[in-house]
Amino acid sequence: MTSLTLISLVFSIAAALVFVPAVRGFARLVGMVDKPDAERKLHSKPIALGGGLAVLASVLAGFAATILYDRHFGAFELGYVANQWYRLVFAGSAIMLVGLIDDVWLMRGRQKLLMQILIISVLVGSGTVVSKIGLMGFEIYLGSLAFPVTVLWLLVCVNALNLIDGADGMATTVGCFITFGLAVLSLTQGSPLGAAFAFCLTGSLIGFLVFNKPPASIFLGDAGSMTIGLFIGVLSVWSSVKGSTLLASAPIGILAIPLFDSTAAIARRWLTGRSIYATDRAHLHHLLDKKYGHKGMLGIVALLSAVTTTLAVASVHFEMPWLAMLGIVLAGAFLVVTRSFGYAECQLLMMKATHMTRSFFITPAQGLTEKNHRCVPLQGTGDWGVVWEPLVDFAQVHNLAKISIDLNLSWIHEGYHASWSAVRMPDRLNQIQMRWPIIIQTEGKSLGVNIGTLHVVAAADSPGIHERIADLTMRLADLEPQVKLVIDELERMHVGGAEKAVSTPSPRFNAPERHSDTSTILT
């Protein structure tokens, strides 16, 4: 089997070195490129898309060549190819096509999620089902939850790889370690065909990395990251001791780095009130790149992936599940303690937990006067206190129930969240809620860029509430110069770099969205 391992790697690397330049040339010819913009895509020139197509073709070519070699020149160690492999190839091709459509024409988040669920559900319905989970030596039978849990696991894998794919070589580097770990795990558990496929996937990513390393000449795109994520998720199930058991600690350990990123993104958006589909530049690759540079980022990610993968495989080989958990803890602790990633999310969680715990131990009288106040710089060094403090003063003077601001200026790597609220909020049916989108105008564009939201909650039966809300609307105009001042200062720090994307912004607070659960109408 050792010779087949090397053969599968060589075949898939060679296939990638042929397919990737061919796909790159075709993508450039037909204009299938990723163009830079003023907000998220900050590369200096258009980059070819379609990397997912090249990787899929390389995997399939390497896998087929390995099987043929084994049948004609080997000892038939891989055996016959079961129908489940054909179903996996079909599902991988389908999800690659969905990603390719999203790369070229852009799909809404919910549309892409729906297509992912449909494709994964068909795959799971055809037999790839996790009926029980092995967790730290204990087996948990899922029963009727088997189908949704398997679908959820595969969705997590698909989107974890998708979220981490935001910098040259990032998803490719992580993917190499993950697939290599799953290949070794498959060998350990007596699944030679799974090992060959995983090694082919590793080889394809190594070959792709030649063209995707900084500065990249082709991107994986959603087509690539989602396909790799699906293959990884399925292999993590098939590489178990039994096909219907998921060794929870080992796959999670191998996938620790992308799971850190996706978990932090979900927590950040939930705790700040953003949409789950909101975009920002506070992902793992963004923060590591800004702190350590691109080479440093890839080096750290490679080192952490090596640690988590090695300990995850060792946990299965030595039957010591805690080793996989140790790898997860070590990698997470390093990122948080060095404030490289996850520190802001931990702050948000701690504040949320502290405020919730505090609410159980105060008296009703204290609940009427006590306030919760939190300010968390999610990213960057902007002095947003000059904008936030006047808002808190207004809320205190006018007895508002809650006021919060959430800012996301991706092109200058800035993020800020602050909230001030009463410990005891008005009943939901007695709340007036208003949201002000904060918009800045960019040079050469008729439409502005949304940089954040101001959220206000007040009791509908509070005396003079309508006049106070109207007063707040007028006061917001006084804050516009402060917002512009902070942005100008931050942009001066970025002058001369490729991140300089917005010229002379003119911030404004748009007309608020008004929400009231009572019959009160604001005029």
Is 446 found in the same domain as 332? no
Q: Which of 241, 238, 258, 240 is nearest to 308 (CA)?
A: 258
31-45, 94-108, 186-200: least confident range: 31-45
Find the mean pLDDT for residues 315-339. Answer: 90
Write the CB contacts of 413 (distance below 8 Å, at least 6 apart in sequence): 281, 286, 290, 379, 380, 499
The pLDDT-based confidence of 303 (bands split at 50, 70, 90) is: very high
Q: For the residues 496-509, what does the mean pLDDT come to? A: 47
Q: How confident is the model at residue 496 (pLDDT cuts 50, 70, 90)?
A: very low
Residue 331 shares a structural domain with residue 429: no
Q: pLDDT at residue 208 above 80?
A: yes
- pTM score over 0.85: no
Q: Which residue has the higher pLDDT, 277 or 332?
A: 332
Same domain, 264 and 401: no
| Residue-level pLDDT at 518 | 33
- Which residue type does 178 have? I
Q: Check whether 144 has a pLDDT greater than 70.
A: yes
Question: Is 354 a domain residue?
Answer: no
One domain for residues 49 and 142: yes
pLDDT exceeds 70 at position 230: yes
Q: Collect all residues with Cβ–Cβ distance below 8 Å to 328 and sequence separation of at least 6.
A: 252, 253, 256, 308
The count of other CB atoms within 10 Å of the CB of residue 37 is: 11
Q: Are residues 334 and 381 in the same domain?
A: no
My answer on whether 339 and 378 are in the same domain is no
- Residue at which a domain ends, from 302, 327, 343: 343
Q: Among 10-24, 268-282, 446-460, 487-501, name the one with the lowest average pLDDT.
A: 487-501
Give pLDDT, residue 374.
86
Task: Reply yes or no on whether the pLDDT at 503 is more than 50.
Answer: no
Q: What pLDDT score was predicted for residue 178?
A: 93
pLDDT at 505 > cutoff 60: no
Residue 34 predicted with pLDDT over 70: yes
Asked whether residue 311 falls in the same domain as residue 404, the answer is: no
Determine, yes or no, domain membership for 366: no
- 75-79, 199-203, 347-351: range with lowest mean pLDDT: 75-79
Quote the pLDDT of residue 372: 87
Least confident of 81-90, 210-219, 408-417: 408-417
Q: Helices (DSSP H) in 31-130: which residue ranges? A: 51-72, 83-105, 109-125
- The token pair that represents 386 in the structure block: 């000059």
In tens, the pLDDT along 465-476 reads 888 888 888 877
Rounded mean pLDDT, 308-326:
87
Q: Examine the domain organization and report whether 379 and 512 are in the same domain.
A: yes
Q: Residue 304 in contact with residue 331, Cβ under 8 Å?
A: yes
Residue 177 scores a pLDDT above 70: yes
Residues 449 and 501 sit within 8 Å (Cβ to Cβ): no
Residue 161 sits in the same domain as residue 266: yes
Same domain for 183 and 39, yes or no, is yes
Same domain, 385 and 316: no
With cut-offs at 50, 70 and 90, classify the pLDDT of residue 11: very high
Banded pLDDT at 42 (limits 50, 70, 90): low
Q: Is residue 140 part of a domain?
A: yes
Average pLDDT on 20-44 reads 79
Asked which of 322, 343, 364 is the last residue of a domain, the reply is: 343
pLDDT of the residue at 247 = 58
Mean pLDDT calculated for residue range 39-49: 70
- CA–CA gap between residue 287 and residue 123 (Å, rounded): 35
- Under the banding of pLDDT at 50, 70 and 90, the label for residue 286 is confident
The rounded percent of the chain whose pLDDT value lies above 90 is: 38
Question: In this predicted model, which residue has the larger pLDDT, 242 or 238?
Answer: 238
In a domain, 368, yes or no: no
Tell me what pLDDT residue 106 has. Answer: 82
Residue 313 in domain = yes
At residue 17, does pLDDT exceed 50? yes
Q: Which of 19-23, 162-166, 389-393 has the highest mean pLDDT?
A: 19-23
Number of other residues whose CB lies within 10 A of the CB of residue 96: 24
| In a domain? residue 351 | no
Residue 215, preceding peptide bond in cis (omega within 30° of 0): yes
Residue 511 above 60 pLDDT?
no
Mean pLDDT score of the chain: 84
Structural domain includes residue 523: no
Whether 424 is covered by a domain: the verdict is: yes
Domain with 491, as residue range(s), is: 373-516
| CA 449 – CA 507 distance, rounded (Å) | 9
- Number of domains forming the structure of the chain: 2
Mean pLDDT for 477-505 is: 66
User: Is residue 206 over pLDDT 70?
Assistant: yes
